[in-house]
Amino acid sequence: MEPPSASPRAGRGPWQELLLAVSLLAFWNPPTTAQVTVESVPPNAAEGKDALLRVLNLPGDTASLTWFKGETVLPTHKILLYVIDTKITTPGPAYSGRETIYPNGSLLFQNITLNDTGSYILQIINQKFETALVRGQLQVFQPVSQPLLTASNTTVTKDDSVVLTCSSNNTGVSIQWFFNGQILTLTDRMKLSQDNSTLTIDPVRKEDAGKYQCEVSNPVSSNKSDPVRLDVEDDSTEQSSGLPPGAIAGIVIGVVAGVAVIAALVYLQYFRKTGGASDLRDVTEHKPSASNHSQDQSDNLSNKIEEVAYSSLNFNVQEPKKSTSASSSPAATETVYSEVQKK
């Protein structure tokens, strides 16, 4: 339906002046059209969109319709006046240029703003100059921006604690938490702040590792944060991963050096043991050789003695003039003894 045309500069006719006077005089009259209602379409409007205060069950004997902004009917709060018979629209002081009134009393807002939020009153005057007032409410919300999710630490040790914080530039929003793409199911180790903007996990378990998100919403929009990944490590893993590369290198070098020293000590100890035993064997083996050598010398000496004695005997035969008494035997014995020493 096309809205009725009206010129803000048009002058008031006698009928309009009379209608305004009657409406002001009849302002306190009790309403006679209790069935008339006003609803907002949509119930919650998004900033920058259009919204409609729709009038239902308007009486057929309606003579004029006037919209006011606020809780009271004052000339300074008048937005638009529409006369049914003449189809003339007259703007008031509260008219912004974005409102349009329809013959059924509905009021359209174009490019709605946050300032349009509030109460509105529709004044209905019938042909008997009876007045009824019907109230409507308009709620305007700003689309929410993407929230920011931060963590006190993205890599935590098992049994430690972590705090996740969801920050939003919008007010009056609701906050919902997600874990690995699903709505987070709270455990007895998880606590939310009063406004749900902070999630505390204490103590942390391995099953808490994963991607976390928060979603802020209002009646007209919602928006999710970028995911934050939480890693949970065991104590041993955390300790080893916490050492700087230089410390790890130092530990490795120290271990290698220690092993080398121990190996050297073991080798020296083994060498001493094996070397002493070898010397002892050499000495032991040498002594029998010397003994054998002495025994050989004794055998040889005996043989020599026998040979010399035999030779002496032969010599004595060749020189019969010499005495063969016992006195000659010692001489032969001395000769044999001397020969043995020479050997």
Is the residue at 302 inside a domain? Answer: yes
Structural domain contains residue 341 = no
Domain boundary residue among 213, 242, 271? Answer: 242
Predicted confidence at residue 242, as pLDDT, reads 55
| Rounded distance between C-alpha atoms, residue 8 and residue 320, angstroms | 189
* Rounded Cα distance, 125 and 102, in Å: 15
- What per-residue confidence (pLDDT) applies to 236? 61
Angle subtended by helix axes 328-342 and 245-318, to nearest 10: 150
The two tokens of residue 30 are: 């009790």
Compute the average pLDDT of residues 27-41: 68
Q: How many CB atoms lie within 10 A of CB 307?
A: 12
Report how far residue 258's alpha carbon sits from residue 144's, in angstroms, rounded to the nearest whole number.
64
CATH assignment of the domain containing 158: 2.60.40.10
264 dihedral zone (left: phi>0; alpha: psi -120 to 50; beta): alpha
Residue 120's nearest CA partner among 60, 64, 65 is 65
135 and 159 belong to one structural domain: no
| 130 shares its domain with 117 | yes
pLDDT of residue 264: 78
Tens digits of per-residue pLDDT, 231-260?
A: 999 876 445 555 666 767 778 788 888 888
Of 242, 272, 290, the position where a domain reaches its end is: 242
How far apart (Å, rounded) are the C-alpha atoms in residues 36 and 105? Answer: 10
Residue 166 and residue 193 in contact, taking contact as beta carbons nearer than 8 Å: no
Tell me how far apart the alpha carbons of residues 108 and 102 are, in angstroms, rounded to a whole number.
8
pLDDT reported for residue 281: 52
Whether residues 18 and 122 fall in one domain: yes
Q: What is the pLDDT of residues 310-332, one digit of tens each?
A: 444 444 444 444 444 444 444 44
Contacting residues for 273 by C-beta, under 8 A, at least 6 apart: none
Give phi and psi for 265, each to the nearest 5.
-65, -45
Residue 213 sits in the same domain as residue 249: no
Residues 216 and 250 in one domain: no
Mean pLDDT of the chain: 78
Q: Find out whether the peptide bond into 245 is cis, omega within 30 degrees of 0.
A: no
> Are 118 and 72 in a shared domain?
yes
Distance of CA 225 to the CA centre of its chain: 13
Shared-domain flag, residues 57 and 103: yes
- Tell me if 1 is assigned to some domain: no
* Same domain, yes or no: 103 and 164: no
For residues 52 and 110, what is the distance between their CA atoms, to the nearest angstrom? 9
- CA dist list (Å): 330 to 210, 315, 336, 340, 343: 118, 15, 10, 15, 20
Same domain, 101 and 163: no
CA 39, 40, 45: angle at the middle one, nearest 5?
Answer: 170
Q: Which phi and psi angles does 113 have, rounded to 5°? A: -120, 170
Residue 21 domain-assigned (yes or no): yes
Kindly report which listed range (38-52, 99-113, 294-308) carries the lowest average pLDDT score: 294-308
pTM of the model: 0.55
Cis preceding linkage at 203, omega within 30? yes
Looking at the structure, do residues 164 and 215 belong to the same domain, yes or no?
yes
182 found inside a domain: yes
pLDDT at 263: 81
Q: Given the DSSP bridges, would you call strands 88-91 and 78-83 parallel, antiparallel or unpaired?
A: antiparallel
Q: How many domains does the chain have?
A: 3
pLDDT tens-digit series, residues 56-92? 999 999 999 999 999 999 999 999 999 999 999 999 9
In 10 A of CB 31, how many CB atoms?
Answer: 13
Q: Are residues 292 and 185 located together in one domain of the fold?
A: no
Residues 18 and 137 in one domain: yes
Identify the domain containing residue 219 by its residue range: 148-242
| Domain end residue (candidates: 141, 162, 196) | 141
Residue 6 in domain: no
Band (pLDDT 50/70/90 cuts) for residue 7 is: very low
Tell whether 157 is covered by a domain. Answer: yes
In a domain, 220, yes or no: yes
Distance separating alpha carbons of residues 121 and 136, to the nearest angstrom: 6
